[in-house]
A and B are shown apart, each in its own frame.
Chain A
Amino acid sequence: TQLLEQSPQFLSIQEGENLTVYCNSSSVFSSLQWYRQEPGEGPVLLVTVVTGGEVKKLKRLTFQFGDARKDSSLHITAAQPGDTGLYLCAGDYGGSQGNLIFGKGTKLSVKP
């Protein structure tokens, strides 16, 4: 059974600070996705990373895929209160079914 460990589980920071969320597995992903979920809504895709060592940027968010495709990180620069939410990583291990394994999530709170 593949496991996806996400850390930290909770993060409370002040506006303007930087933060990093980590997602790790002992297995190799064929791709990894990051989602953001707001209260009362379903998760929404932020980015998909596929190639080992890949770095993608989305405004103040930087996503990195490890060289061995077993880990990923999400870095937010100068966090804003609008970044508050639940961040989820999800790994695709390449099975024929296309099922995703989700991490437990990081609940981020950015205080003004």
Chain B
Amino acid sequence: NAGVTQTPKFQVLKTGQSMTLQCAQDMNHEYMSWYRQDPGMGLRLIHYSVGAGITDQGEVPNGYNVSRSTTEDFPLRLLSAAPSQTSVYFCASRLRGPGNTIYFGEGSWLTVV
């Protein structure tokens, strides 16, 4: 049972570098999202998608891009990494509709130096 798979688990970037966090789910969920988790801030929504070809911004989208070419994959791109983007990133997916369980990946720890 793969569920939601995120890679890489850990990454160190230099300021200004770009990178992509990969996310894949095998549950045929329409809805996928990326959150960042910082101490004392809880989980904050970066971008989300309600289906292939459809993406939208969440609460903290600046500095990040996403695309959804397939139902299964939802990569998150950091265009020019900044120290403020040091965080733990979680990809999640769920079926659309109220009350449905959201499934999280195991997280990607990103440090920008």
Interface segment, one of A13-21, A55-63, A77-85, A97-105: A97-105
A44 contacts the other chain (CB 8 A): yes
Shortest CB-to-CB span from B21 to chain A, Å, is 13
A45 contacts the other chain (CB 8 A): yes
Shortest CB-to-CB span from B76 to chain A, Å, is 15
Residue of B90, B99, B104 touching A48 (CB-CB under 8 A): B99
> Which residues does chain B contribute within 8 Å of A90, judged by CB atoms?
43, 102
Cross-chain pair count, CB within 8 angstroms: 63
CB pair A88 B45 closer than 8 Å: no
CB pair A99 B107 closer than 8 Å: no
Shortest CB-to-CB span from A95 to chain B, Å, is 9
Residue of B4, B41, B45 touching A104 (CB-CB under 8 A): B41
CB pair A92 B48 closer than 8 Å: no
CB pair B42 A99 closer than 8 Å: no
Residue of B31, B42, B97 touching A105 (CB-CB under 8 A): B42
Q: How large is the interface on A (under 10, 10 to 19, 20 to 34, 35 or more residues)?
A: 20 to 34
Q: How far is the CA of A97 from the CA of B102 in the complex (A)?
A: 13
Interface residue ranges, B against A (CB under 8 Å): 4, 31, 33, 35, 40-45, 48, 50, 56, 58, 90, 92, 94, 96-102, 104-107
Q: A33-B101, A90-B102 are in contact. List 20 more A-B contacts (CB 8 A).
A: A9-B40, A30-B99, A31-B98, A41-B106, A42-B106, A43-B90, A44-B104, A48-B99, A50-B99, A88-B42, A88-B43, A97-B31, A98-B96, A98-B100, A99-B58, A100-B45, A102-B43, A103-B42, A104-B41, A105-B42
